[in-house]
């Protein structure tokens, strides 16, 4: 393997000079630089990344730990997100180092290792929780990081998030415009911080329309393994059942669709249904679903951009960025039929 020393010897210069010549420092003679570059390429020199990292400068890599099993494993969220991260990183000359952790604790251990060993220059944190130990840890260990997802009351770190509040509010407004007044709500696990923002959109929209918040129409804390059949049945057997339902995740919408169908309720004739995420799942159901769409690749790309900016220009203030989702209208929603 060709090292800097080999190049130095061959060029009749010191290792230091060669290093600086190759790294575009401005204090080396143009002639010397040319010579060094020629020798380096003749010898087929490539800098040893490991040594570079050990030395303490930049690793030109960012880290990401993905949960081993979350609901998102069933859709293509991570894939699109990662695609966004890697392509943006690539343009900036960074690589992505990926690990997986079975739980939050394991995730944190990975983050610790990655930054401590200088394997990466900074990390990306996903699925921000309401009380997130990982964030406290990263902050206190002075590891540059950017989170996908905000945490209420903590703006001392950079984050990129989807404006779930506006997303849900837009969807509810749309249902209202179709004449619906009894709108049910299926919420994601409350541990995730995005859950609360989405919920807020629902409340806001009802309030703006002067409608009551009826707790009986709300199902909360539903994860991918939740059994929806029974609660949905209860919901639809109310004195005044909802005429529309907004499900805060695709998997909930798909589950609700199956549940109501088994009750003989037709979508969208008897019940309108809106999903959130707009992955392949909601696009391929029958009928295809009206859904709040977030561009996962864009999210990954923005998170990476913010992190790299933070890494290159250091000491930048925390940046906060809200990405707007959009409502994709398909065939699972319809005007409220005249009673």
Q: Catalog residues that contact a second copy under the rule CB under 8 A.
A: 1, 46-51, 53-54, 59, 61, 66, 68, 73-80, 82-83, 86-87, 89-90, 95-101, 110, 112-114, 116-119, 254, 279-281, 284-286
User: By three-state DSSP, how is residue 125 classified?
Assistant: strand
Cis before 287 (ω within 30)? yes
Helix axes 77-91, 296-312, angle to 10 degrees: 40
Collect all residues with Cβ–Cβ distance below 8 Å to 119 and sequence separation of at least 6.
Answer: 53, 59, 61, 63, 97, 113
Indicate the residue among 100 and 117 with the shorter CB distance to DNA: 117
Q: Is there binding between residue 24 and DNA (CB under 7 A)?
A: no
Please give the span between the terminal C-alpha atoms of the chain, in angstroms, as a whole number: 80
Quote the least distance from Cβ 112 to DNA, whole Å: 13
Quote the least distance from Cβ 268 to a second copy, whole Å: 15
Q: Is there binding between residue 196 and DNA (CB under 7 A)?
A: no
Query: For the chain, give me the number of helices (H) and strands (E)?
Result: 13, 12
Quote the least distance from Cβ 102 to DNA, whole Å: 24
Indicate the residue among 13 and 205 with the shorter CB distance to DNA: 13
CB 291 within 8 A of CB 274: yes
Indicate the residue among 16 and 68 with the shorter CB distance to DNA: 16
Taking residues 27 to 66 in sequence order and writing x for each that binds DNA by CB under 7 A, - otherwise, the string is: xxxxxx------------xxxx--xx-xxxx---------
E-strand ranges in 175-334 read 183-186, 218-219, 244-247, 272-277, 290-293, 320-323, 326-328
Q: Which of 17, 166, 195, 301 binds DNA (CB under 7 A)?
A: 17
Quote the least distance from Cβ 126 to a second copy, whole Å: 13
Residue 97 binds which one of a second copy, DNA, none, with CB within 5 to 8 A depending on kind?
a second copy
Q: Is there binding between residue 3 and DNA (CB under 7 A)?
A: yes
Q: CA dihedral in degrees (294, 296, 297, 299; nearest 10)?
A: 90
Sign of the four-CA dihedral 45, 50, 54, 56: positive
Starting from the edge strand earliest in sequence, which strands make up the sheet with 272-277, in order? 218-219, 183-186, 244-247, 272-277, 290-293, 326-328
- Cα 25 to Cα 146: distance, rounded to the nearest angstrom: 30
Quote the least distance from Cβ 314 to DNA, whole Å: 13
- Cα 116 to Cα 118: distance, rounded to the nearest angstrom: 5
Residue 322 binds which one of a second copy, DNA, none, with CB within 5 to 8 A depending on kind?
none
Indicate the residue among 50 and 263 with the shorter CB distance to a second copy: 50
Residue 96 binds which one of DNA, a second copy, none, with CB within 5 to 8 A depending on kind?
a second copy
Quote the least distance from Cβ 299 to DNA, whole Å: 32
> Where on the chain is the footprint of DNA (CB under 7 A)?
1, 3-5, 13-17, 19-23, 27-32, 45-48, 51-52, 54-57
């Amino acid at each position: 393997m060709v090292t800097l020393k080999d190049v130095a010897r061959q060029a009749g210069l010191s290792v230091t000079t060669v290093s600086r010549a190759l790294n575009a420092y401005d204090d080396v003679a143009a002639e010397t630089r040319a010579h060094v570059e020629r020798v380096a390429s003749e010898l087929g020199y490539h800098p040893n990344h490991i040594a570079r990292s050990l030395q303490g400068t930049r690793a030109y890599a960012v880290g990401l730990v993905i949960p081993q099993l979350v609901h998102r494993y069933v859709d293509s969220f991570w894939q699109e997100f990662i695609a966004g991260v890697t392509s943006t990183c690539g343009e900036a000359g960074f690589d992505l180092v990926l690990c997986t952790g079975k739980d939050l604790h394991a995730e944190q251990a990975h983050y610790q290792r990655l930054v401590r060993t200088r394997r990466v220059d900074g990390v990306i944190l996903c699925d921000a929780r309401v009380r997130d130990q990982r964030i406290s840890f990263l902050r206190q260990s002075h590891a540059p990081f950017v989170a996908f997802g905000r945490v209420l009351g903590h703006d001392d770190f950079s984050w990129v998030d989807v404006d779930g509040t506006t997303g849900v509010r837009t969807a509810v407004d749309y249902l209202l415009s179709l004449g619906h007044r009894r709108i049910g709500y299926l919420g994601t696990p409350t541990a995730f911080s995005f859950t609360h923002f989405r919920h807020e959109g629902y409340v806001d929209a009802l309030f703006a329309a002067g409608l009551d918040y009826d707790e009986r129409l709300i199902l909360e804390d539903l994860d991918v393994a939740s059994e929806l059949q029974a609660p949905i049945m209860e919901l639809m057997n109310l004195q005044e059942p909802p005429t529309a339902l907004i499900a805060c995740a695709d998997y909930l919408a798909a589950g609700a669709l199956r549940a109501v169908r088994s009750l003989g309720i037709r979508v969208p004739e008897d019940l309108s249904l809106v999903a959130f995420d707009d992955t392949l799942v909601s696009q391929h159901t029958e009928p295809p679903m009206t859904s709040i769409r977030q561009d996962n690749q864009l999210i990954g790309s923005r998170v990476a951009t913010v992190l790299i900016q933070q890494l290159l220009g250091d000491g930048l203030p925390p940046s906060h960025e809200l990405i707007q989702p959009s409502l994709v209208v398909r065939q699972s929603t319809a005007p409220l039929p005249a009673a």
